[in-house]
Amino acid sequence: MRITRSYKNISAMEQELFDNYFDSKLKQLETLVKKYPDDAVMLEAKMEKFDKHDAYDVELILTFPANKIKSNEASHTIMKAVDLAKDRLVIQLKKRKDQKKNEELYVRRHSSIRKPEIHAKAVEEEFVEA
């Protein structure tokens, strides 16, 4: 997984704190997207500090084949903002994974029992007789 980070209004100390804490939280995301090749998955982490409200905004955008998932959270501490944003992203990933699984099961359950060649011949015979 490729990771890009961007910062806005952040001091060097806050940036280092964010990097260290964020790296420790990446394992759960990596396990959820391990079926995709490393070069096909990109995680973009954006962090911004609001001086007026003394708060941090963390935005995570996960891009992988045919999908893009975004989570955004704000909090007064860096760690809480990272945790909340990561949790939202994980929930969305699991939800997408369940939807995909249900779609595949639906297709399998409702696929035709007949073989396509036999079904095509039966349809042609019906039109010829009529």
pLDDT digit string (tens) for 43-52? 999 999 998 8
- pLDDT given for residue 123 in this prediction: 57
3-state helix, strand, coil in the chain (%, to 5): 55, 25, 20
Residue 16's H or E segment, with its range, is helix 12-24
Q: Is 130 helix (H, G, I), strand (E, B) or coil?
A: coil
- pLDDT given for residue 8 in this prediction: 94
More confident residue, 116 or 27: 27
Strands 2-8 and 42-50: parallel
The structural domains of the chain, with segments of one domain joined by +, span 2-92
| Residue linked to tokens 């369940």 | 98
- pLDDT given for residue 71 in this prediction: 95
In angstroms, the CA 128 to CA 37 distance is: 51
More confident residue, 87 or 33: 87
For residue 106, pLDDT beyond 80: no
Span 90-97, mean pLDDT? 89
Domain 2-92 falls in which CATH fold? Double Stranded RNA Binding Domain (3.30.160)
Q: What is the pTM of this model?
A: 0.75
